[in-house]
Structure 1
């Protein structure tokens, strides 16, 4: 406890100097690998405001660069000058899935970009048509029954909803047909209409339907239960200890960024975590505030990349 207190005290003392320590005087550019108005963009803006408070109001500009599964923004950040003035906020697909699904990428995301922190993290809900099952054992029994033709939705081949359900199939041995959709609204329409049996998705897409009893939340895919669904078990509690499906938004810099610069940015991020506005904004978006620094973020992302590589190979998933 003394060491933790000392570290926190040192950080608080150092915070006023972060403005002088930031790599340069030019405006900081945060490239966002998703459209303006998206949850990734919201995360980037919330963090930009919180960091700005820690570095004396230094100008921070967010720049949405969406497309190609996040690769357009990721490439722009990877090719930027490695001076700490250009950062990237991006989601898992560009780092842990697309490299295993597509060849001839313009960059190698895991090796051309370096994680500085995870900024937000959100688990998923395993949502089932309540007419099919209200518990995981009931769902598994239906899926394993002779002649079962249950299907599940995703928001497209190679998406986290797709790979998460394929991981579920590998862990349980059940057979389910994959039905891809353009987005969550279309998938939810068919889940409610009884045309599909299950969908791994974010809480925001299903919370109202769960409250109405039309959809059953069989488990959540994070390490702990959700505050909004306190009665719903985690995958581990439900008997699936090796099933974790979370989405996150990470902060990255070009891999060649000097270590002292990376650590100064990480210090500003660590100080910004104390912002009440940041915590409240993330909570409203259904995200948790993680405490991953550069080393922890890198380890998390590389481990997740290996998990999805295995799932993609085992399931024989390809994307055109």
Structure 2
């Protein structure tokens, strides 16, 4: 399953993503997992237990490695320079699993707190005025386009705040999108914005309430989001300790909050993969980008990269 955590800045999406990952890692047997930090504020590693000073290799800096590997010998992709963030896989492309050994993972993935993590890389001073953060997040989109995840495997992505992911087709790359929502008007505003954009694309959206203090908070969320409210996490001494740098075992999380994580996994595990739709949406957004800018930049029609008869999935990965 591919899972996104989205929400208003400060809503706690990174905290919830890290709790969910640590909950999965504590299960017996522990499932195969890959964590991806696609937020402009790169805090997922610290939330998983990495020291602040840890320097991670980044997906953004290793984009040539990613393109070279994923391209494989796909005859429709003439060169790695023609690969863009939306380039869909086709026959000859290399597909990647969640838990495998490949050049991309060797270069970009490191274990943090027992969880395999890759990061897009922060927005640096050198990017100011000449780049946008979506150029880095594009590495995540390209990787997810070529990722085949099986039963009991989880790719968990901590996304940029708000509705920034709608700048590309990245928002369609997930089986479940958890929108972390505080009981505030501003947080509800982000929920409504996200819901409005995602409605026409079959995005499976589940709201997870966060920082719920009392019945009034819960009533407010229920009134505002209705059946989209899957579960909620209350104010937590466990989380406050982690924010002070005291990362405690996940087994010490309050039982009701641990139950919320179980409800989230139950939802995810009940989703059936729809590989034809997954590929169709990848192709749709690739054609949009080809028309808008990518073909002009490449000097040829990148719509030709689409393999009309190709559908990814476990069978394609095996071959």
TM-score computed with the length of structure 1 as normaliser: 0.29
TM-score computed with the length of structure 2 as normaliser: 0.29
